[in-house]
Structure 1
């Protein structure tokens, strides 16, 4: 269950990164020089969460 929740959280981070880049807003208005790297970093973290969850799901499936 935790791994599936981690997948959903990863998708949320990717969407949040896109929102930061498009609207240049994260609790306050951001300059483009800050919004693009921050949005990219948040999306990269979302991809990492998804990758880690998928690898854990695959590993638990092999042992059963």
Structure 2
């Protein structure tokens, strides 16, 4: 159960990291704008996927109890 909540928090972290990469165009090194947008969008999509997966697992574990 704790893993599901941790996955939810990690998903939020990925979304925030994606936004930061898009705004500052920096991820361990200075990025070109096209690379920054692509990486930022990829991080945001992965964060949304993690949140979706965590929510479905939390709902399914709530039905089992």
Band of TM-score, shorter chain = over 0.9
How far apart are the structure 2 equivalents of 1:39 and 1:63?
36
- In structure 2, the partner of 1:53 is 54
- Structure 2 residue runs without a partner (length 5+): none
The superposition leaves residues 15-39 of structure 1 with CA deviations (integer Å, 9 ceiling, x where unpaired) of 0000000000000000001000110
Q: Give TM-score scaled by structure 1 length.
A: 0.98
Q: Give TM-score scaled by structure 2 length.
A: 0.97
- In structure 1, the partner of 2:35 is 34
- Structure 1 residue runs without a partner (length 5+): none
Regions of 4+ moved over 6 Å: none
